[in-house]
Amino acid sequence: MLLQAVLLLLLRCLASTLGQYELCKSLVSTDEGSVWEHYACQPKAASMKDHMRIKVDPPGITCGNPPERFCTLENPYLCSDECDASNPDLAHPPQLMQDRERNGLITYWQTVTWRRHPEPLLANISMSWNKSLELTDDIQITFEYGRPTIMVMDKSMDHGRSWQPYQFYADDCLDAFNMPPKRVRDLSPANITRVICTEQYSRWVGSKNEKNVKFEVQARFAVFAGPRLKNMDNLYTRMESMKGLRDFFTFTNLRLRLLRPALGGTYVQRDNLLKYFYAISNIDVPARCKCNLHASQCLPIEGNLQCQCEHNTTGPDCQRCKKGFKAKSWKAGSYLPAPNGTPNTYCECYGHSNRCSYIDYLNIVTCVSCKHNTRGQNCQHCRLGYFRNASAELDDESVCIECNCNQMGSVHDRCNGTGFCQCKDGATGAKCDDCLPGYYWKQGCYSNVCDEEMLLCQNGGTCYQNQKCICPPEFKGVLCQHSRCEAGKDCNSASLPQLSTATLLLCTLLTYLQATLTPH
């Protein structure tokens, strides 16, 4: 027990250097041998930019088809730049928002210019992952040539079926959205999940000075975890107790609705509309896969991120029990109690029991009241008197078949793994309901008394169902081998017919009775 404690302690230390909730399970040595310890766990945060599928709308919003010139806000007479979709050096396709830039070369997606003013210049950027993710740090969108003056970020939690606004951005929130401007730092623990409009990222400060638009995650975390997020336990505790807090950071899709481009701090100048457009060089989405605290790994498989579910769970988000692991109804793992949480694992009762019980002194979880004639810690065996149905899965209701041993022919009512019963002497067959050669069946198997080969009835006697010889009146004995008229006895012919008739009658009666009373 001491060893176990030390190992656990070591493990906890290891876990804390790895970061919180990074291990799902660990093999721990105990006095009873090695056992798995299970922990609440979650995958590491990663840059989800690499796995993002990006789509821009409307079609034709990307510049360069046909090629066009554009200018800059700072110097409207500097209009030498050209966008040409057919020339790789001058094209600005959407994938440049998620590429890895090399050698300090900034690459960006760019839209057509605002030639159609006063018709609004609108563009949507939809990002999808086909996976539930949880934000771990600020979303950051980098705009070249100025940040939009009006923009909305939306999110979906159901793969784009329904959407909700995540944050509004405008240089004048009241004017654009009829919302008072707020900052994340104005939020209190009670209204942390409020959707706000912020002016912080939309005002003109020069296109080179501030390029980034953020959705602030760290600042929201800090409301609970304190500055520099020193008290993550408190944040995790709130995640458990505060309705909607975890969901607030959860998404499967994001959408940027660009509603008005950067204007350079003045009104739209109609004489040079070539300086108004959107250009994005990078979109950073730091997040982790949502695996409900049942996975520490999330890997791209056939182009889709997938939780590597532990604790006998399955599904893209480990959101249900594996087939056959339904001992308890599914539950997410919990961050509580801090700092290690609760894994909420599922034990293997193969669907034959709804209850588990923890046996403290053995440190095992066992299934209680196994149904469908099963038994065992995981209801994985058949009860005595039943055997395993080879064509049924372990979680099938007909997994155990009754042995059905013949009560007379078998030693007991148990059978081996293929349904064979243990037979008494002389009995045979899988169920011991047959007799071996040389035996006859009469509520069990008995050795033949007579037959047509070795145990012939003598002196004209006939063998009745291998059970006995029916002897002529003058003979007796098992095989009719003895004469009734032994030497020195009175066997005269006068008394013989009377005797003979009486014996014959008696014999016939007995035979008749036996024949009708013997069950077959």
Ligand X SMILES: *[C@@H]1O[C@H](CO)[C@@H](O)[C@H](O)[C@H]1NC(C)=O
Which residues contact ligand X by CB under 6 A?
A: 36, 38, 57-58, 122-124, 130, 182, 186-188, 190-191, 194, 196, 257, 304, 306, 310, 312, 316, 345, 347-348, 389, 391-392, 396, 398, 401, 416-418, 420
User: 424, exposed or middle or buried, with CB in 10 Å at 0-12, 13-18, 19+?
Assistant: middle
3-state secondary structure 106-154: CCCEEECCCCCCCCCCCEEEEEEEEEEEEECCCEEEEECCCCCCEEEEE
**Which of ligand X, Ca ion, none does residue 329 bind to, with CB < 5 to 8 Å depending on kind?**
none
Nearer CB in complex with Ca ion: 49/468: 49
Residue 420's binding partner among Ca ion, ligand X, none (Cβ under 5 to 8 angstroms by kind) is ligand X
User: What are the C-alpha distances in Å from 228 to residues 185, 284, 300, 353?
Assistant: 14, 20, 31, 47
Q: Binding to Ca ion (CB under 5 A): which residues in 259-288?
A: 281-282
Report the residue number, 107 or 202, with the smaller CB distance to ligand X. 202
Nearer to ligand X, 122 or 274 (CB): 122
Nearer to ligand X, 350 or 475 (CB): 350
Four-CA torsion 77, 80, 85, 91, nearest 10 degrees: -100
Are 136 and 289 contacting, i.e. CB atoms less than 8 angstroms apart?
Answer: no
Q: From the CB of 94, what's the least distance to Ca ion, in Å?
A: 10
Nearer to ligand X, 123 or 471 (CB): 123
Q: Give the number of other Cβ atoms within 10 Å of residue 300's Cβ.
A: 11
Shortest Å, Cβ 1 to ligand X: 20
Q: Angle, to 10 degrees, between the axis of helix 232-241 and the axis of helix 218-225?
A: 90
Residue 90 interacts, among ligand X, Ca ion, none and using kind-specific CB cut-offs from 5 to 8 Å, with: none
Q: How many residues does the chain have?
A: 520
DSSP summary character for residue 181: B
Look at the block and give the residue holding tokens 């995640």. 239
Is position 96 an interface residue for Ca ion (rule: CB under 5 A)? yes
User: How many residues lie near Ca ion (CB under 5 A)?
Assistant: 5
Work out what residue 347 binds among ligand X, Ca ion, none; the CB cut-off runs from 5 to 8 Å by kind: ligand X
Nearer to Ca ion, 214 or 431 (CB): 214
Site membership for Ca ion, residue 107 (CB under 5 A): yes
The one of ligand X, Ca ion, none whose footprint includes residue 16, by CB under 5 to 8 A per kind, is none
Provide the minimum distance between the beta carbon of 460 and ligand X in the complex, in angstroms, as a whole number: 43
Tokens for 291, please give them.
């695996």
DSSP per residue, 383-413: PTTEEE-TTS-TT-TT-EEE----TTTEEEE
Q: Return the number of the residue (257 or 468) whose C-beta is nearest ligand X.
A: 257
CA–CA separation, 131 and 180 (whole Å): 34
Closest CB 462 distance from ligand X, rounded Å: 37
